[in-house]
Amino acid sequence: MKNYKYLVLLLILGLLLAACGGDTATDEPVAEPENTAVEETEEVMDEEPAAEPAEEVAAEPVEEPAEEVMEEPMGEADLDTAFNTFLGGMERYNTISVDELSEMMVEAPPFILDVREPGELTERGWIEGAVNIPLREVADNLQYLPSFDTPIVSYCGSGWRCTIALTALEAMGWENVRGLTGGSFGGWVEAGYPVAEGEIPELVALNEAEPDPALVAAMQEMLHNVPDGFGAISADDLSIELVENPDIILIDVRRPEEVEENGYIDHPNLVFVPLEQFVELKGDWPEDLDAPIVTYCGSGHRSTIAMSILWSYGYTDVRSLRGGFGGWASGGFPAVGVPEPSFDMDAAFTTFLDGMERYNTISIDDLNVLLVEDPPPFVLDVREPSEIEANGYIEGAVNIPLREVADNIEWLPSFDTPIVSYCGSGWRCTIAMVALEGMGWENVRGLTGGSFGAWVEAGYPVAEGLPLEPMVLDVAEPDPAAVAAMQEMLHNVPDGYGVITADDLNLALLENPDLIVIDVRRQEELEENGVIEAENWIHVPLEQFVAMKDQWPADTDAPIVVYCGSGHRSTIAMSILWSYGYSDVHSLRGGFGGWVEAGYPAAEFVAP
């Protein structure tokens, strides 16, 4: 290019000399148009230097820096920095409880983000003042969000989606985003905090934050591709998939001391990548972006953050284990290094029996009164769905069939929340009550007087169809060993739920002299009313049932019938015996009163 310019200058100099001393150019000065032509030629040649060597063209490309920067995909280093900042600044893994949120709303209200679908708000309400942006649309509507340093509390139905949302917001630059735990909106409702209803408020543009467009694009891509089910996988489903697809990669994001203390899932393709160093250790991530991956932690929150991060880096098949390792271990699935169960069943049932009031019963009239209080009790319907469809249910009840109660802890309220369990007649709800009390719930009562049948007969309102799908609350953390014990008991509840009639008991006493009969009434009841005469009769009052367990039969396979005055206490005792592994235990329907009413003899009680 320089040589070319020198030639041009020589040409100009020659023209000037000709103009000054030549014979033919004196009438028309041509210097100005010649100069113009030369300038235009230079501009054209600068754009297309055809005479230049090819390597010089490559060395001086046309400069369009702004467009090139915007068109290039964002490098992983940007995501690395964003997520490392988030993970390095976490406090309590960016969670907040419903009680803490309630206090904040009075003292210094945060920006509250509801990431559920509008239909969920219409159906169940929302936290007053919340802004609703569905999860997949959060990164598309940043104009409605506050400044980067404004505290944000994200919530959803159970705590799952809001964790994904907080991960995306933190990556885009928001500095103080927390997810509502304790069941999220379900926990808020269960705790009795106020709920807004009616027309969902319109969004108000704030335009207070200017996140990096490249980071926004990355989070839009991630959120738009959140799968149905939001990436959750249950322990049951994971156990099946690990058998069917041994190539699944498990990533344990717990701290090393947690793994050492509690154990880990037994699987050959297991990687340990603590959440705190999740991006720093991304060299340990699978190389294949399409590899099937399941992340897990202790309960499901941290693994959902990790899942969201992996999605952001382009991983296409990542899920998070609902309930975490705690749910996996309590379900009895294969694990390594799990400590021996610490559940003290004697202590659990002794606490229950010592704290009984009216043997933990509630009448239909008392329940009707409680239902209008604020907050009402948690009402648990343990019938089968087919029964509910045929006969209706008590409005607001949550349906978990009896044998599945201990499998669905996440749907149950906190330990100190009053629970009323009911069924068709009062039998199954008593078994459920025993299981719940054994796992740590402190105030569980069974609906007596005929349970749902009596409720209907009394003319109290009945809802038709099936109850709404239960909300995931995740507010109670029973001992996994206690849960496992109650699962074992409930899964093995026999057909007929352990009921034996007076007629069948009378026949059994005649045919099987080895039958053991346990009377759980108080001694004054025995003295006043008499007892059922049986060769193998034992008296163990319910109040001291566990304290006197040395009086129980030594053989856990021995045939046993328990009875009380009406059948309620004996069903409690039967359920306790089942929990201890007794396999052939029945409870006398109608109790001693039903026995006498059926015309069978009563013997006088003789104190030992």
Q: What is the CATH number of the domain that holds 387?
A: 3.40.250.10
Q: What is the pLDDT confidence band of residue 7, given thresholds at 50, 70 and 90? A: very low
Is pLDDT of 62 > 90?
A: no
Judgement on whether residues 430 and 466 belong to the same structural domain of the protein: yes
Q: Is residue 607 part of a domain?
A: no
Mean pLDDT of 468-474: 83
Supply the DSSP string of 57-100, one letter for each residue.
Answer: HHHSPPP-HHHHHHHSPPPHHHHHHHHHHHHHT-SGGGEE-HHH
- Are 115 and 213 part of one and the same domain? yes
Q: Are residues 262 and 384 in the same domain?
A: no
Read off the pLDDT of each residue in 590-606 and give the average, rounded to a whole number.
96
**End position of a domain, from candidates 62, 87, 105:** 62
CA distance 291 to 299: 23
pTM assigned to the model:
0.68
High-pLDDT (> 90) share of the chain, %: 79
pLDDT at residue 69 greater than cutoff 80 = no
180 and 241: one domain? no
In a domain, 365, yes or no: yes
Is 587 contained in some domain? yes
Cα separation values, 349 from 31, 346, 356, 422, 601, Å: 112, 6, 11, 21, 33
Looking from the CA of 442 toward its CB, the CA atoms found within 13 Å total: 5
Rg of the chain in Å (alpha carbons): 37
Convert the pLDDT of each residue in 347-395 to its tens digit.
999 999 999 999 999 999 999 999 998 889 999 999 999 999 999 999 9
Residues 200 and 238 in one domain: no
Which of the listed residues 336, 364, 394 is the one where a domain comes to its end? 336
Same domain, 188 and 235: no
In a domain, 459, yes or no: yes
**What is the domain count for the chain?**
5
Which tokens sit at 487?
A: 């699962």
Q: How confident is the model at residue 480 (pLDDT cuts 50, 70, 90)?
A: confident
Q: Is residue 256 part of a domain?
A: yes
- For residue 215, give both structure tokens: 């980071």
Question: Which of 189, 208, 226 is at the close of a domain?
Answer: 226
Is residue 606 included in any domain, yes or no? Answer: no
* 403 & 457 share domain: yes
Q: Say whether both 243 and 170 belong to one domain.
A: no
- Mean pLDDT, the chain, integer: 88
Same domain, 477 and 349: yes
Q: Which helix (H) or strand (E) holds 456?
A: helix 451-457
- Same domain membership, residue 294 and residue 198: no
Residues 483, 370 share a domain:
yes
- Asked whether residue 206 falls in the same domain as residue 107, the answer is yes
- Reported as a single tens digit per residue, the pLDDT across 218-257 is 999 999 999 999 999 999 999 999 999 999 999 999 999 9
Whether 311 maps to a domain, the answer reads: yes
The domain containing residue 425 runs over which residues?
345-491
Judge whether 237 lies within some domain: yes
